[in-house]
Amino acid sequence: MIIQPARRTESVQEYYFSRKLKEIAAMNASREASGAEPVINLGIGSPDGMPPMEAIDALCESARQSGNHAYQSYVGLPALRNAFSRWYERWYGVNLNPDTQIQPLVGSKEGILLISLAFLNKGDKVLVPDPGYPTYSSASRLVEAEIVTYDLSEDNGWQPDFDALEKMDLAGVKIMWTNYPNMPTGASASEELYDRLVDFGRRHSIMICNDNPYSFILNDKPLSILAREGAMDCCLELNSLSKAHNMAGWRIGMVAAEAEVISQILKVKSQMDSGMFKPLQMAAVQALAQGPEWFGALNDEYRQRRKLAGEIFDLIGAEYDHSSSGMFLWGKIASCRLLKQEQKDTGKTGGEIVSDAILQGCGVFITPGFIFGKNGDNYIRISLCAKPQVLRQAYDRINKLLK
């Protein structure tokens, strides 16, 4: 390489799943050569279902129109912003001004970096949950902010310990990342939790950044932090069509906040892209119009998958919440049959030992919890984004391994 990379890149590594997928690809090549079945990947939460047909039809119809292939507005089509506004009012009871309080995004993951670029200077502090989505930390590192982790624990229902937060040195903290229904633990939000977060943010002048893509999955009452009194004073919320509409690869998300916050995010975003493809926006309008029958069918499927994933955890001896929300099942491996005493001195976490034993032993990949923080060391996570027959096949492979 003729030049040296920027120093900021030294603070991050290639995303864990990017590295793991390479390993699995190499394993599959070897397994194919030996006549073995490919690895069953129960790691990444990439929905395998079809999006609403109305969205697909809108995409195709719009893509056939010759005038729809040019650059688009940075702020998104009025039709899309209005659709997001109606969606928030219908399902969350939140009234958003589509002209000033909504910014469409190329997936909500983009928003995490945009928010970090827009509001964090070098040395500013960021409250990041442990366990939590790794991108909160990596985006903070890339803008050279200081990460301050706050613990989530099973004993506290995987919710923030506000007494502990109040005792922390909060000087210099500008942003707090939250995520409910929680990834990876599946813990649900509550109105009380959101009220406490709003109060905490207002009193300490901290912007609460609530990442909310799982609110419809295995959750009968979708909640938004923006519905709570005073939330617009100190909160923003990211949302997405990836999970609730089976549109992860379409990369359609949004951020909602008061107008000044949106304008600052747009200031950065407009330097980074040239607007979302118009047919995608028209498809999103149709997806956002889906009614309760769409979410009912979606969750019937996920309930079946959660039960089957639970049977895998029962088989290996992992403890889990039978009523968790979101599209993952989170299991504690303290009494797991694959956690052998002699393996505990390898330097690997318990979750990593179990994950590797299953992957190498029978070709099933289950995510180790350490990638979400130290509080996930003794946990593993199964994605529900696998068809029931695939989950049953994974069960059979693991059962054979244990025997």
Local confidence pLDDT in tens for the 403 residues of the chain: 898 888 888 887 787 878 888 988 898 898 888 888 999 999 988 999 999 999 999 999 999 999 999 999 999 999 999 999 999 999 999 999 999 999 999 989 999 999 999 999 999 999 999 999 999 999 999 999 999 999 999 999 999 999 999 999 999 999 999 999 999 999 999 999 999 999 999 999 999 999 999 999 999 899 999 999 999 999 999 999 999 999 999 999 999 999 999 999 999 999 999 999 999 999 999 999 999 999 999 999 999 999 999 999 999 999 999 999 999 999 999 877 776 644 555 678 899 999 999 999 999 999 999 999 999 999 999 999 999 999 999 999 999 999 8
Helical (H) or strand (E) element with 312: helix 292-316
DSSP 214: T
Q: How far apart are CA 258 and CA 231, in angstroms?
A: 9
Helical (H) or strand (E) element with 330: strand 328-332
DSSP 123: T
Cβ(204)–Cβ(231) below 8 Å? no
Domain topology for 7-49+293-402: Aspartate Aminotransferase, domain 1 (3.90.1150)
* One-letter identity of residue 242: S
Q: What does the pLDDT read at residue 5?
A: 87
Which residues, at least 6 apart from 178, have a Cβ–Cβ distance to it below 8 Å? 129, 160, 197, 208, 209, 210, 211, 225
Q: What does the pLDDT read at residue 403?
A: 85
The sign of the dihedral angle between the CA atoms of 292, 294, 297, 300 is negative
Q: What does the pLDDT read at residue 243?
A: 96
Cβ(212)–Cβ(219) below 8 Å? no
Query: Which one of 3.90.1200.10, 3.40.640.10, 3.40.50.12280, 3.40.309.10 gives the CATH number of domain 70-290?
Result: 3.40.640.10
Cβ(312)–Cβ(382) below 8 Å? yes
Which residues, at least 6 apart from 234, have a Cβ–Cβ distance to it below 8 Å? 198, 201, 202, 205, 206, 207, 208
Q: What does the pLDDT read at residue 344?
A: 55
Helix (H, G, I), strand (E, B) or coil at 230: coil
**pTM given for the model:** 0.94
Pairing outcome for strands 379-383 and 328-332:
antiparallel
Q: What is the CA radius of gyration of the chain?
A: 22
Cβ(312)–Cβ(395) below 8 Å? yes
Q: What does the pLDDT read at residue 152?
A: 98
Annotated domain spans of the chain: 7-49+293-402, 70-290
Q: How far apart are CA 248 and CA 209, in angstroms?
A: 21
Enumerate the β-bridge partners of residue 75: none
CA torsion, ordered 284, 263, 120, 125, to nearest 10 deg: -80
Pairing outcome for strands 379-383 and 364-368:
antiparallel
